[in-house]
């Protein structure tokens, strides 16, 4: 299994920020990425529907012979217990727990602010994870316009800055003031620069993509699943709709061009 790929899935393209961090941290590993672009966004779906979609996506990755599955979607992390049961003994990693651990470390006892999709905020996944790992006061804010902004490439300029102020100003005005801002959606790292400017230098930003990559690296080492040293391999991309758009817009999140010819259309049903 050491030479097998790592499977990564998301509702669309935001999870490419997680794969970008994984590729940087684990350059010797191979990756298969699945974006459920026909059924995005997951953030407005019920928990039961998200669990069903996530199980279909993860099952499709197991058919490709992956050695580990990464749920690169905060909303879909509601399905983590169900996927661990269904895919055992295959390891499954979500983005919620690594993000919560990093936020607690950055906050050092001070309050934590979380920005995420409506589904993630309503589900309270980060509040529960932070409480389970020691606890801190948590203020949450849904930022639904951040997803279309990032997918349209509007990651800088007056529009992005005005919307960031609209969401962040009331969130960060709570007292006592948060010391940490957790980016609880995998789309949001594309807006990291404008979010950091609006939040101010005294607020530490935590990117769940980077912390998830560290968690995966530790798990591979602990389980003896690390790939042998080799030159980096090109990732495989699977989508359920609009492969051309995935290749075009996905570059924003992956940080490098995606050849449309490498994007395969699949049917999860």
% of the chain with per-residue pLDDT over 70: 100
Determine the Cα–Cα distance for residues 168 and 220; give it in Å rounded to an integer: 36
**Is 73 an annotated catalytic residue?**
yes
Q: Determine the pLDDT at residue 51.
A: 92
Q: Determine the pLDDT at residue 75.
A: 86
Work out the pLDDT band at 163, boundaries 50, 70, 90: very high
Q: Which CATH architecture describes the domain 6-94+210-265?
A: 3-Layer(aba) Sandwich (3.40)
Q: 35 and 96 in contact (C-beta within 8 Å)? A: no
**Is 180 an annotated catalytic residue?**
no
Ranges of beta strands (E only) in the chain are 6-10, 31-35, 68-71, 92-93, 112-116, 138-142, 180-183, 204-207, 236-239, 263-265
Work out the pLDDT band at 98, boundaries 50, 70, 90: very high
pTM over 0.75: yes
Q: Do domains 6-94+210-265 and 96-208 have the same CATH topology?
A: yes
Own/partner long-range contacts of 83-91 (Cβ < 8 Å, ≥24 apart): 83/54, 83/55, 83/58, 86/55, 86/58, 86/59, 87/58, 87/62, 90/62, 90/66, 91/67, 91/219, 91/223, 91/225
Q: Determine the pLDDT at residue 231.
A: 66
Q: What are the sequence ranges of the domains in the chain?
A: 6-94+210-265, 96-208
**Residues near 234 by beta carbon (within 8 Å), at least 6 away in sequence:** 262
Annotated catalytic residue within 73, 96, 112, 239: 73
Between 184 and 43, the more confident residue is: 184
Q: Determine the pLDDT at residue 267.
A: 94
Closest C-alpha to 42, from 15, 17, 81, 16: 15
Determine the Cα–Cα distance for residues 82 and 67; give it in Å rounded to an integer: 18
pLDDT digits (tens, 9 = 90+) for 39-85: 988 877 888 999 999 999 999 999 999 999 999 998 888 889 999 99
Phi, psi (rounded to 5 degrees) for 73: -150, 120
Work out the pLDDT band at 99, boundaries 50, 70, 90: very high
Q: Alpha helices, DSSP H only, in 12-124?
A: 16-25, 47-62, 80-87, 96-107, 118-123
pLDDT digits (tens, 9 = 90+) for 226-235: 998 876 778 9
Closest C-alpha to 6, from 71, 50, 51, 55: 71
Does 177 have pLDDT greater than 90?
no
Q: Determine the pLDDT at residue 153.
A: 85
Does 182 have pLDDT greater than 80?
yes
Residues in the chain: 269
Mean pLDDT on 243-260:
93
Does 210 have pLDDT greater than 80?
yes
Phi, psi (rounded to 5 degrees) for 142: -75, 135
Does 175 have pLDDT greater than 80?
no
Annotated catalytic residue within 8, 172, 185, 220: 185
Does 248 have pLDDT greater than 80?
yes
Average model confidence (pLDDT) across the chain: 92
Q: Which CATH architecture describes the domain 96-208?
A: 3-Layer(aba) Sandwich (3.40)
């Amino acid at each position: 299994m050491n030479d097998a790929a790592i499977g990564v899935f998301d509702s669309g393209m935001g999870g490419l920020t997680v794969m970008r961090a994984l590729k940087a941290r684990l350059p010797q590993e191979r990756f298969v990425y699945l974006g459920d672009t026909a059924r995005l966004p997951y953030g407005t779906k019920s928990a039961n529907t998200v669990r069903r979609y996530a199980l279909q996506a993860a099952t499709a990755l197991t058919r490709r012979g992956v050695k580990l599955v990464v749920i690169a979607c905060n909303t879909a992390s509601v399905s983590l217990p169900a996927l661990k049961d269904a895919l055992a003994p295959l390891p499954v990693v979500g983005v919620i727990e690594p993000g919560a651990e990093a936020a607690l470390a950055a906050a050092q006892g001070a309050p934590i602010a979380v920005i995420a999709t409506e589904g993630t905020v309503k589900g309270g996944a980060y509040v529960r994870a932070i409480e389970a790992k020691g606890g801190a006061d948590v203020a949450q804010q849904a930022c639904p316009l951040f997803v279309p902004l990032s997918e349209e490439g509007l990651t800088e300029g007056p529009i992005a800055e005005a919307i960031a102020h609209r969401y962040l100003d009331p969130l960060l005005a709570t007292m006592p003031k948060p010391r940490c801002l957790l980016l609880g959606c995998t789309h949001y790292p594309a807006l990291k620069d404008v979010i950091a400017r609006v939040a101010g230098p005294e607020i530490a930003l935590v990117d769940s993509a980077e912390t998830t990559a560290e968690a995966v690296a530790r798990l591979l080492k602990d389980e003896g699943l690390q790939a042998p040293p080799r030159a980096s391999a090109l990732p495989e991309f699977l989508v359920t709709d609009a492969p051309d758009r995935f290749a075009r817009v996905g570059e924003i999140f992956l940080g490098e061009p995606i050849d449309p010819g490498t994007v395969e259309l699949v049917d999860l049903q």
